[in-house]
């Protein structure tokens, strides 16, 4: 039963991915005129446009081009940049690693911090600590990433000189150096994600603590730590996994703005540049990567909650 559920969810995830890839590919077809016209502009002559069309393979029907593109994506070939003529996969690979590094850096700090803090405020709900945390997290969620980013730059970089404002990366840097140089962008992400994650963890735990079996555990004379560890936690994994996955998915979007603020050489920055220059193959590739990460994380959340559900793990 559980395997069937997981398989079904995986299938649904793949289907979603496929539909999204269709969406991303055919969105470009919405261009007024066509791709060649859009790249060359109104001033181009008929001949150059026709030559461009042929070069891009636009004379072939869209479904065939989609299948080519999809096949390429699956084998790691993301096409060619319209502007530089460079292979998109070459342009992306290092930047993708950089972005993953930044996101993991933020996640490694934010996840344990937020979950522990969330459990803590849930246990001491309605205390002054809880109320202060509520206001603080609301403020943090409400602030645009670039506001937090610039505030951090102003105070931690410009005024005190503690950290660099611009994240320049070189291949020969040590890990410590790398962590130091990317601290501010990571911290910005941490602030935003922690606030979300903490609020969601708090809500999940409070919901759980209201269950009759928690009351029963207390009425059985169990000490508070045992109520939490033995009775609440095994049932809390599903909601907590959900919270983490949803927020990591949120990180994916947040990273775009943060990379721009800190001039960080990641895939978000690349996407924004490509959008401004209307370099569609790059835009498509970046969008697909972001969307796929997002979908996979949501998928992980769903599968995680299926796997940790005791009712499903021990069927009748």
Partner 1 sequence: MSDPVFIALCLGGLAAAVLVTWRMGQMSAMRTLIFCLILAGLLALFLGAPALRFSAIVAGLVAISAAASWVFRAALLMVAPTSMGPALRAAPLTAAFGMLVITIYAIAGIFAPLIAPFGEAEVIAGAFAPADGTMILGADQLGRDMFSRIIFGARNTVGLALLATTLAFLAGAAAGLFAAVRGGWIDQILGRVVDVIMSVPSLVFALLILSILGTNLTIIVIVIAVIYAPRVFRLTRAVAGGVVTMDYIEAARLRGEGDWYLIRREILPNASAPLVAEFGLEFCFVFLLISGLSFLGLGIQPPTADWGSMVRESATMISFGITTPLIPAGAIALLTVAVNFVVDWMLYRSSGLKV
Partner 2 sequence: MAARDEVLLTIENLRIEGLSGEDWTEIVHGVDLTLHKGEVMGLIGESGAGKSTIGLAAMGFARDGCRISGGRVTFDGIDLTAAAPAELRGLRGTRIAYVAQSAAASFNPAHKIIDQHTETPVHYGIEDRETARKDAMELYAQLRLPNPEEIGFRYPHQVSGGQLQRAMTAMAMACRPDLIIFDEPTTALDVTTQIEVLAAIRDIVDQFNTAAIYITHDLAVVAQMADTIKVLLKGTEVEEAPTEQMLSNPAEDYTKSLWAVRSFERPIKQRPTDTEPLLSIKGIDAAYGPVKVLDDVSFDIHPGMTVAVVGESGSGKSTTARCVTGLLPPTKGEIWMDGAALPARYQDRSRDQLRQAQMIYQMADTALNPKVRISEIIGRPARFYSGLKGADLTRRVDELLELIELEPDAYRDRLPGELSGGQKQRIGIARALAAEPRFIICDEVTSALDQLVAEGILRLLGRLQDELGLAYMFITHDLATVRAIADEVVVMQHGRVVEQGPKDDMFRPPHHSYTDLLLSSVPEMDPNWLTELLKARSAAGASEAATI
Residues that bind partner 1 (CB under 8 A): 16, 19-20, 23-24, 27-28, 30-31, 127-128, 131, 134-135, 138-139, 141-147, 150-151, 153-154, 157-159, 165, 249, 252-253, 256-257, 260-261, 271-272, 274-276, 278, 280, 283-284, 286-287, 290-291, 294-295, 298
Q: Work out what residue 138 binds among partner 1, partner 2, none; the CB cut-off runs from 5 to 8 Å by kind.
A: partner 1
Nearer to partner 1, 211 or 310 (CB): 211
- CB contact at 8 A, 181 and 167: yes
Does 316 engage in binding with partner 2 (CB under 8 A)? yes
Q: Could you tell me the maximum CA-CA distance found in the chain, to the nearest angstrom?
A: 86
Nearer to partner 2, 33 or 223 (CB): 223
Q: Is 70 left (phi over 0), alpha (psi -120 to 50) or beta?
A: alpha
Residue 68: CB atoms within 10 A of its CB come to 14
Nearer to partner 2, 159 or 316 (CB): 316
Q: Residue 283 CB, nearest distance to partner 1 (Å)?
A: 5
Answer for which of 211, 229, 253, 263 binds partner 2 (CB under 8 A) is: 211
Residue count at the site for partner 2 (CB under 8 A)? 22
Does 2 engage in binding with partner 2 (CB under 8 A)? no
Query: Long-range contacts for 309-316 (Cβ within 8 Å, ≥24 apart)?
Result: 309/238, 310/234, 310/235, 312/1, 312/2, 312/5, 313/2, 315/1, 315/2
Q: How far apart are CA 135 and CA 177, in angstroms?
A: 34
Does 278 engage in binding with partner 2 (CB under 8 A)? no
Token pair listed for 83: 């502007």
- CB contact at 8 A, 303 and 8: no
Q: Work out what residue 221 binds among partner 1, partner 2, none; the CB cut-off runs from 5 to 8 Å by kind.
A: partner 2
Q: Work out what residue 275 binds among partner 2, partner 1, none; the CB cut-off runs from 5 to 8 Å by kind.
A: partner 1
Q: Residue 234 CB, nearest distance to partner 1 (Å)?
A: 26
How many Cα atoms within 13 Å fall on the side-chain side of residue 212? 0
Nearer to partner 1, 196 or 231 (CB): 196
Residue 157: CB atoms within 10 A of its CB come to 18
Nearer to partner 1, 72 or 164 (CB): 164
Does 202 engage in binding with partner 2 (CB under 8 A)? no
Q: Residue 313 CB, nearest distance to partner 1 (Å)?
A: 26
b (16+ CB within 10 A) / e for 204-215? bbeebbeeeebe
Return the closest-CA partner of residue 290 out of 305, 264, 265, 272: 272
Q: Work out what residue 310 binds among partner 1, partner 2, none; the CB cut-off runs from 5 to 8 Å by kind.
A: partner 2
**Stretch in the footprint of partner 2 (CB under 8 A) among 42-50, 112-120, 206-214, 259-267:** 206-214
Residue 248: CB atoms within 10 A of its CB come to 24
Does 221 engage in binding with partner 2 (CB under 8 A)? yes
Q: How far apart are CA 122 and CA 125, in angstroms?
A: 5
Residue 245: CB atoms within 10 A of its CB come to 20
Answer for which of 235, 300, 304, 306 binds partner 2 (CB under 8 A) is: 235
Nearer to partner 2, 170 or 316 (CB): 316
Q: How far apart are CA 55 and CA 238, in angstroms?
A: 51
Compute the Cα dihedral for 176, 181, 187, 189 and give only its sign.
Answer: negative
Residues that bind partner 2 (CB under 8 A): 210-213, 215-223, 226, 230-231, 234-235, 310-311, 314, 316
């Amino acid at each position: 039963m559980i395997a069937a559920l997981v398989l079904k969810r995986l299938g649904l995830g793949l289907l979603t991915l496929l539909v999204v890839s269709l969406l991303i590919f055919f969105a470009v077809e919405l261009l007024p005129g066509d791709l060649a016209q859009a790249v060359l502009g109104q001033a181009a002559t008929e001949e150059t446009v026709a030559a461009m069309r042929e070069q891009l393979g636009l004379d072939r029907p869209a479904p065939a081009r989609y299948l080519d593109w999809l096949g390429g994506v699956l084998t790691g070939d993301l096409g060619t940049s319209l502007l530089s003529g460079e292979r998109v996969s070459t342009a992306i690979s290092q930047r993708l690693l950089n972005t993953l590094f930044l996101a993991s850096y933020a996640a490694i700090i934010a996840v344990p911090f937020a979950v522990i803090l969330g459990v803590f405020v849930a246990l001491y709900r309605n205390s002054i600590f809880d109320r202060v945390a509520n206001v603080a997290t609301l403020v943090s969620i409400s602030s645009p990433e670039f506001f937090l980013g610039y505030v951090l730059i102003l105070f931690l970089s410009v005024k005190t000189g503690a950290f660099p404002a611009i994240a320049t990366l070189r291949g020969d840097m040590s890990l410590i150096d790398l962590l130091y140089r990317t601290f501010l962008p990571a911290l910005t992400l941490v602030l935003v994600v922690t606030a979300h994650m903490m609020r969601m963890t708090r809500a999940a735990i409070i919901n759980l603590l209201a269950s009759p079996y928690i009351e029963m555990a207390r009425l059985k004379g169990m000490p508070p730590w045992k109520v939490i560890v033995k009775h609440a936690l095994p049932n809390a994994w599903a909601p907590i996994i959900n919270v983490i996955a949803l927020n990591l998915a949120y990180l994916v979007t947040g990273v775009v703005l943060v990379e721009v603020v800190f001039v960080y050489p990641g895939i978000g920055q690349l996407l924004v540049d490509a959008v401004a220059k209307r370099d569609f193959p790059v835009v498509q590739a970046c969008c697909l990567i972001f969307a796929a990460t997002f979908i996979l994380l949501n998928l992980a959340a769903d599968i995680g909650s299926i796997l940790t559900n005791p009712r499903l793990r021990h069927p009748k």
